[in-house]
Amino acid sequence: MKRGKKIGLILLGVFVVMQFFRITKTNVPVVASNDFIEITNPSPEVKEILKSACYDCHSNESRYPWYSEVAPVSWWLQHHIDEGKEHLNFSIWGTYSEKRADHKLEECAEEVEEGEMPLNSYTWTHSDARLTAEQKELMEDFFNSLRK
């Protein structure tokens, strides 16, 4: 057997074995009274932006696309979601202290202003999460308006 064919078969075998190591796609139940949208009651446009550009990674309401079924992409996706929730989880907003919430709002405004959020890797596959200049300004103003 030629060396290239052997390597190809080994790589295929590794890929198949990887599929047996699945991610957990279970979302923690959301307590509505702690949810950012419920607490802040944003305009419909801001709410839509939050849901389409933020909540997949920064809440307990993650939606898992078809490619979340394929390792190693699924592992990378789960890592992003876990990391996003670690930094900011809109589903538990009501449990944040006033100081922490104010700091998170400041960070949200900065991340949007600097174009850091939503991540480019997210907007590649979620075109509805791409923010126009007007939407970025709207979100910055919204986050800043909530600051103490």
Render pLDDT for 18-70 as a digit per residue (tens, 0 to 9). Answer: 888 887 888 888 899 999 999 999 999 999 999 999 998 999 998 888 887 88
**In total, how many domains does the chain have?**
1
Question: What sections of the chain are H helices per DSSP?
Answer: 3-18, 36-40, 44-49, 73-87, 98-113, 120-123, 133-145
Return the structure tokens found at 147. Answer: 């600051």
Rounded Cα–Cα distance for residues 87 and 79 (Å): 12
Burial 97-114 (b: 16+ CB within 10 A, else e): eeeebeebbeebbebbee
Residue 10 lies in domain: 3-145
Rounded Cα–Cα distance for residues 147 and 42 (Å): 14
Q: What is the pLDDT of residues 112-128, one digit of tens each?
A: 999 888 888 888 878 88
Q: What does pTM read for this prediction? A: 0.83
- Torsions phi, psi of 21, nearest 5? -100, 90
